[in-house]
Amino acid sequence: MQAARLGAERVGLAELCRRSAVVSVHAPLLPETTGLLDAGMLALIPDGGVLVNTARGAIVDTAALTRECASGRLEADLDVTDPEPLPPGHPLLSLPNLLVTPHIAGAQGSEVRRLGRYAVAEVERWAAGEPLLGEVTREGLHRLA
Protein backbone atom coordinates (compact mmCIF):
# COMPACT_ATOMS: atom_id res chain seq x y z
CA MET A 1 0.00 0.00 0.00
CA GLN A 2 1.27 3.48 -0.87
CA ALA A 3 0.60 4.94 2.61
CA ALA A 4 2.70 2.26 4.33
CA ARG A 5 5.58 2.83 1.90
CA LEU A 6 5.58 6.47 2.96
CA GLY A 7 5.59 5.54 6.63
CA ALA A 8 1.96 6.56 7.09
CA GLU A 9 -0.97 4.61 8.43
CA ARG A 10 -4.45 4.82 6.87
CA VAL A 11 -7.17 5.40 9.45
CA GLY A 12 -10.78 6.48 9.33
CA LEU A 13 -11.82 10.07 9.94
CA ALA A 14 -12.88 9.48 13.54
CA GLU A 15 -9.54 7.91 14.43
CA LEU A 16 -7.70 10.68 12.59
CA CYS A 17 -9.54 13.31 14.65
CA ARG A 18 -8.79 11.43 17.90
CA ARG A 19 -5.05 11.27 17.12
CA SER A 20 -4.51 14.74 15.69
CA ALA A 21 -3.57 17.92 17.51
CA VAL A 22 -4.01 19.72 14.18
CA VAL A 23 -6.68 18.77 11.63
CA SER A 24 -6.17 20.47 8.27
CA VAL A 25 -8.96 20.20 5.70
CA HIS A 26 -8.00 19.77 2.04
CA ALA A 27 -11.02 18.30 0.25
CA PRO A 28 -13.41 19.28 -2.49
CA LEU A 29 -16.99 20.10 -1.56
CA LEU A 30 -19.00 17.05 -2.58
CA PRO A 31 -22.24 15.61 -1.21
CA GLU A 32 -20.16 13.16 0.83
CA THR A 33 -17.88 15.89 2.26
CA THR A 34 -20.58 18.46 3.11
CA GLY A 35 -20.73 18.62 6.92
CA LEU A 36 -17.98 16.00 7.17
CA LEU A 37 -16.52 17.65 10.26
CA ASP A 38 -19.69 17.83 12.30
CA ALA A 39 -20.13 18.21 16.07
CA GLY A 40 -19.26 14.54 16.64
CA MET A 41 -16.02 14.68 14.67
CA LEU A 42 -14.96 18.03 16.15
CA ALA A 43 -15.55 16.64 19.66
CA LEU A 44 -12.98 13.90 18.94
CA ILE A 45 -10.15 16.38 18.36
CA PRO A 46 -8.11 16.56 21.58
CA ASP A 47 -8.47 19.58 23.86
CA GLY A 48 -6.23 22.40 22.64
CA GLY A 49 -6.40 21.08 19.08
CA VAL A 50 -6.47 23.28 16.01
CA LEU A 51 -8.73 23.03 12.97
CA VAL A 52 -7.39 24.55 9.73
CA ASN A 53 -9.79 24.82 6.81
CA THR A 54 -8.43 26.03 3.48
CA ALA A 55 -10.79 23.87 1.42
CA ARG A 56 -14.49 24.74 1.46
CA GLY A 57 -16.47 26.20 4.34
CA ALA A 58 -19.41 23.79 4.16
CA ILE A 59 -17.14 20.82 4.94
CA VAL A 60 -17.13 22.02 8.57
CA ASP A 61 -20.30 22.47 10.63
CA THR A 62 -20.05 26.19 11.45
CA ALA A 63 -22.39 26.08 14.45
CA ALA A 64 -20.49 23.15 15.99
CA LEU A 65 -17.14 24.83 15.35
CA THR A 66 -18.44 28.03 16.91
CA ARG A 67 -19.41 26.13 20.08
CA GLU A 68 -16.03 24.35 20.28
CA CYS A 69 -14.05 27.56 19.80
CA ALA A 70 -16.29 29.63 22.11
CA SER A 71 -15.69 27.06 24.85
CA GLY A 72 -11.94 27.53 24.37
CA ARG A 73 -11.45 23.81 23.74
CA LEU A 74 -10.36 24.20 20.10
CA GLU A 75 -8.63 26.85 18.03
CA ALA A 76 -9.29 27.39 14.33
CA ASP A 77 -7.64 29.02 11.34
CA LEU A 78 -10.16 29.47 8.54
CA ASP A 79 -9.49 30.61 5.01
CA VAL A 80 -13.05 29.57 4.12
CA THR A 81 -16.31 29.72 6.06
CA ASP A 82 -19.95 28.79 5.66
CA PRO A 83 -21.47 31.17 4.87
CA GLU A 84 -18.71 33.02 3.09
CA PRO A 85 -18.09 35.67 4.08
CA LEU A 86 -19.35 35.41 7.63
CA PRO A 87 -21.91 38.13 8.34
CA PRO A 88 -20.82 41.10 10.45
CA GLY A 89 -21.16 40.28 14.14
CA HIS A 90 -20.88 36.50 13.66
CA PRO A 91 -19.58 34.99 16.94
CA LEU A 92 -16.56 33.40 15.24
CA LEU A 93 -15.23 36.81 14.26
CA SER A 94 -14.81 37.94 17.86
CA LEU A 95 -13.11 34.85 19.30
CA PRO A 96 -9.44 35.23 20.34
CA ASN A 97 -8.65 31.61 19.41
CA LEU A 98 -9.82 31.94 15.82
CA LEU A 99 -8.19 33.47 12.76
CA VAL A 100 -10.26 34.14 9.63
CA THR A 101 -8.53 35.09 6.40
CA PRO A 102 -10.35 36.34 3.27
CA HIS A 103 -9.93 33.13 1.20
CA ILE A 104 -6.63 34.34 -0.19
CA ALA A 105 -4.33 33.05 2.53
CA GLY A 106 -1.92 31.52 0.03
CA ALA A 107 -1.86 34.47 -2.35
CA GLN A 108 1.27 36.49 -1.74
CA GLY A 109 2.19 37.37 -5.31
CA SER A 110 5.11 34.93 -5.60
CA GLU A 111 2.79 32.16 -6.77
CA VAL A 112 2.02 33.88 -10.08
CA ARG A 113 5.53 33.33 -11.45
CA ARG A 114 5.59 29.73 -10.21
CA LEU A 115 2.15 28.99 -11.71
CA GLY A 116 3.25 30.53 -15.00
CA ARG A 117 6.35 28.30 -15.13
CA TYR A 118 4.18 25.27 -14.37
CA ALA A 119 1.72 26.15 -17.16
CA VAL A 120 4.54 26.62 -19.70
CA ALA A 121 6.12 23.29 -18.64
CA GLU A 122 2.77 21.52 -19.08
CA VAL A 123 2.41 22.93 -22.62
CA GLU A 124 5.97 21.80 -23.39
CA ARG A 125 5.17 18.29 -22.10
CA TRP A 126 1.98 18.21 -24.16
CA ALA A 127 3.80 19.39 -27.31
CA ALA A 128 6.48 16.70 -26.78
CA GLY A 129 3.82 13.99 -26.38
CA GLU A 130 4.75 13.44 -22.74
CA PRO A 131 2.26 12.77 -19.93
CA LEU A 132 0.95 15.86 -18.18
CA LEU A 133 1.62 16.27 -14.47
CA GLY A 134 -1.68 18.06 -13.82
CA GLU A 135 -3.96 16.23 -16.24
CA VAL A 136 -7.64 16.59 -15.48
CA THR A 137 -9.76 13.75 -16.82
CA ARG A 138 -13.51 13.70 -17.25
CA GLU A 139 -13.66 10.81 -14.77
CA GLY A 140 -11.83 12.81 -12.09
CA LEU A 141 -13.49 16.15 -12.72
CA HIS A 142 -16.18 15.75 -10.03
CA ARG A 143 -13.49 15.29 -7.33
CA LEU A 144 -11.77 18.64 -7.89
CA ALA A 145 -12.11 21.39 -5.30
The catalytic residues are 56, 84, 103
Residue 125, classed as helix, strand or coil, is helix
Phi then psi for residue 65, to 5 deg, are -65, -40
Residue 141, classed as helix, strand or coil, is helix
| DSSP for 41-52, written as a single string | HHHHSPTT-EEE
Q: Per DSSP, which regions of 71-140 are E strands?
A: 75-78, 98-100
